[in-house]
Structure 1
Amino acid sequence: MVGQEVHIRSVGTALPGSPVDNAALTKAFRLTPVFEQWIDAFVGTRTRYLALDLVTGEQRYSLADLGETAARHALETAGVAAGEVDLVVMGTSMPDALLPTTVNVIAERAGITGVPGYQLQSGCSGAMQALDLAHQFLLAGRHRTALVLGGDVCAKHIDLSLDYSGLPPEEMVNMVLFGDGAGAAVLTREPGPGSVLLHRAFVELSGLGQPPGQRLEWYGLGDRDSGTPAVREDFKAIADLVPELSVDILARLLKEQDWQPADLDFLLPPQLSVRMTEKIMARLDVPGVREVSCVAETGNTGNALPFFQLERALPEMAPGDRAVAVAVESSRWIKAGLVLEKA
C-alpha cells in the first residue's frame, strides 16, 4: 500500500573532470616514484577525480555544481519533474559554505522550491543519515517524493605550495585516499520501473569513550593561521575498528530483517580504500555474495560513495534479489547501513 513502503526510483552521480592517476598525483605533490608505489601498496586506489586543477590550483567545480548534475540525472532517470519533489535532504562533511547551505543551492538550481530542505553535517555516514531521514518522512506520510543528496569536495584542503614530503603519514594519507563527487537518489512512496524497495536505513552513534578517528577543521578569520592540520586521521584505529563495526552492522541488519547471510545477493561494503575494503570483506565473510565497490576508480568520495555503489548495484538486481549496504564513520564511530530488495 502507498505510504507503507519506500522505493528508490533512481540514482544519479557526478564526478569532476578526468581521472587523476597516482603518477599525476605524485607529480603534482613533487614527490618521488616511491610515493606512487606506496599508494598502490598501502591504499590501492588507482584513480580519483578532483575539483581542483592540479596544474593551476584553480577550483573548477563546486559541490553545488556536482550536486546539481547528479540531481538532474536522478530526476530525469526517475521520470520525476522538479515540481513533484516535496522534500530535499543532503549529507556532506564539506559544504561549499556554511551559508547558504549547499542543499538549498542545489535545490534552487534544479528548479525545486516551496519544499523543506535539510542539510546534515557528517562524514561517511552522512548519505545514510540523509536516506534515513527521507525514509522516515515518507513512511510517516508527510511527503511523497524526496530528492536525497550526498557529496564532498575537498579542494579547499589541497595546497599545492606545501612541501608534501615533510607531512607526517597521518596527514599524507588523506591526500591520496579522497576524491570529489556527488550523488542523488529519488525516493517515492510508489514503485516505478526498475525501482528497489528500501526496507530500512540505519544510523547509530557507537563511539562512547572512544577518541575520534578523524577530525576535519573548518577555519575562520580568527584561526586560519593557527597551524592546526586541516585533516587528521588515526589510521591505525580505523584499520582496527572499522572491520569490527562493519561485522556488527551487517549482523544487526540481517537479524532485524530476518535474513541469513546466504539470503544476500549483493553487499555494498565501506569504501575507505581498496586495501581497507579487502580487509572488511574478509571479515564480513559472506560466500557467494556480489561485492559492489567503486573506490579503486573514484577514490573515497565521502558522502557520494553510497550513491556510486547504488548506481552500480540497482541495474544488476533481478526481482527477488536482496542487498545490504554498510557504512562506518570514524569521526565519532557511527554505524550505518541500508537494506534493499528488488520487488
Structure 2
Amino acid sequence: MAASDIGVAAVATALPGPPIDNATLGRTLRAGGTFESWVDTFIGTSTRHLAMDLETGEVRFSLADLAETAGRKALSAAGVAPGEVDLVVMGTSMPDSLLPTTVNVVADRLGIDGVATYQLQSGCTGAMQALDVAHQMLLTGRHRTALVLGGDVCAKHVDLGVEFETLSPGELVNTVLFGDGAGALVLTADPAPGSVLLRRVLVRFVGRGRAPGQIVEWFGMGDRHEQRPALHEDFKAIEEHVPTLAAQALTELIEAQGWQPADLDYLLPPQLSVRMTDRIVKHLALPRAEEVSCVGETGNTANALPFFQLERMLSRMSSGQRAVAVAVESSKWIKSGFVLEAA
C-alpha cells in the first residue's frame, strides 16, 4: 500500500423498526384507494422505515440512537476499539438538537473521547462532505482512524393528524418519499492488503445565482406558532438539474482518476426516489457499471443512503474493481461523489 492510501475498514447501517409498506402508510394517512398506485407510479418506493410509531405517534428512535448502533457495528466489524478512533465526522440535515451536536452525543455513547469531532449540516451531500473532511484529515498524517457518520430522522416533520387529501403536491410527495436511518464507516490510514481504497472525494458548490431547490425551516420559541410550511421543494427544478449535475460530478471524478466510463464496475447513483434514480442512471449511460440502489426498500434516508449503498456493494467488490458514487444537494445546489478501488 502507498503511504497516501486511505482504506475503508468497515461500513454498517441502522434502521428504526420494521419496514412500512404503502398499504400501511395509506391507512395511517387515511388516503384514498388510489394511494398505492400513485406511490408506485410517481415515487416507486415500496417500503420505508420510520422512527415514529404510526399507531401511537411515539418517536421510538432518535438520530443519535441509530447512529450509535451503526457506529458500534462498524467499529466491531473493523476490529477497532473506541480508543483507537482519533477523528469523528458526521453529516446530517436533521440533527436531534442544535446543541449539543449529535456527533458528540454519539461519540460519548461509543466511549470515544479526547479526539476531534465535526458535525456538518447538509442535505443529500452531507455524508459526502463528512467523508471528504475525514479523507483530507487522514491524508495529512495527523490522524490514523476516522469514524464517519451520516443519517437523518424526519419525525419532527411528521404530523399524523393531517388529512392526506388536503396536502399540497409538495407536502404529499414528502410524506411518502422519506425514511429514517443512519450509517457509519471506518476509514483508516493503515489499510490491510486487499482493502477497498477511497481514491477521491468531490464536493463542489454550484449554487451561485440559483434559487434554492429545497428549503427546510427550523422554529424556536419566538416563531414556533407561525403558519409557514416547514418543508418546501421545487420538484421541477430538481428534475431538471439533478441529472445534469450528477453527470458533471461523475465526469469530474473519473477524469481526475484518468479512468474511462467503461472502467467502472459499480455505480452508486443519487437516491431521491426510485423513479428519479431510474432517470439519472439512464442519463449517466455507463456501459457496464452495475447499479447499486436501495431507495425502493429504505425510502430516501438522505445522509444515510451512501452507507446503505456501500454496505450492499463492498462485500461484492473484487481486486481491481472500481466504483463511483454520486450525490446532488438541491437546497442550494452541490454536486458531490467519491471513487473507490479494490486493491
* TM superposition score normalised by structure 1: 0.98
Letter in 2 for 1:69: T
Distance 1:203 1:8 in 2: 19
Q: Determine if the alignment matches structure 1 residue 173 to structure 2 residue 176.
A: no
Quote the RMSD (CA, aligned, Å): 1.0
Letter in 1 for 2:88: V
SS in 2 for 1:229: coil
Deviations 1:148-180 (A, max 9, x none): 000000001001111221111011111111000
Deviations 1:39-80 (A, max 9, x none): 110000000000000010000000000000000000000000
Partner of 2:31: 31
Partner of 1:338: 338
Distance 1:37 1:220 in 2: 38
Distance 2:41 2:129 in 1: 32
Deviations 1:230-260 (A, max 9, x none): 1111111101110011111111111100000
SS in 1 for 2:185: strand
Q: CA deviation at 1:140?
A: 0.6
Percent identity over the alignment is 65
Partner of 1:259: 259
Distance 1:337 1:137 in 2: 17
1:200-215 alignment, distance < 5 Å = 200-215=200-215
Letter in 2 for 1:247: A
Partner of 2:311: 311
1:64–1:102 CA contact under 8 A, matched in 2: yes
Distance 1:127 1:204 in 2: 14
Q: CA deviation at 1:3?
A: 4.4
Structure 2 residue runs of 5 or longer lacking an equivalent are none
1:90–1:120 CA contact under 8 A, matched in 2: yes
Partner of 1:146: 146
Partner of 2:326: 326
SS in 2 for 1:33: coil
Letter in 1 for 2:116: P
Partner of 2:217: 217
Partner of 1:156: 156
1:77-88 alignment, distance < 5 Å = 77-88=77-88
1:31-50 alignment, distance < 5 Å = 31-50=31-50
Q: Determine if the alignment matches structure 1 residue 112 to structure 2 residue 112.
A: yes
Q: Determine if the alignment matches structure 1 residue 101 to structure 2 residue 104.
A: no
2:194–2:319 CA contact under 8 A, matched in 1: no
SS in 1 for 2:90: strand
1:3–1:140 CA contact under 8 A, matched in 2: no
Letter in 2 for 1:246: A
Distance 2:70 2:80 in 1: 14
- Count the aligned residue pairs: 343
Distance 2:193 2:98 in 1: 37
Q: CA deviation at 1:194?
A: 6.2
Partner of 1:20: 20
Letter in 2 for 1:83: G
Q: CA deviation at 1:2?
A: 6.2
Q: Determine if the alignment matches structure 1 residue 302 to structure 2 residue 283.
A: no
Distance 1:58 1:10 in 2: 32
Distance 1:85 1:105 in 2: 15
Q: CA deviation at 1:193?
A: 6.7
Distance 1:58 1:65 in 2: 15
Structure 1 residue runs of 5 or longer lacking an equivalent are none
Distance 1:2 1:254 in 2: 20
1:268-279 alignment, distance < 5 Å = 268-279=268-279
1:3–1:141 CA contact under 8 A, matched in 2: no
Distance 1:292 1:192 in 2: 25
Letter in 1 for 2:313: A
Letter in 2 for 1:226: E
Q: CA deviation at 1:190?
A: 1.1
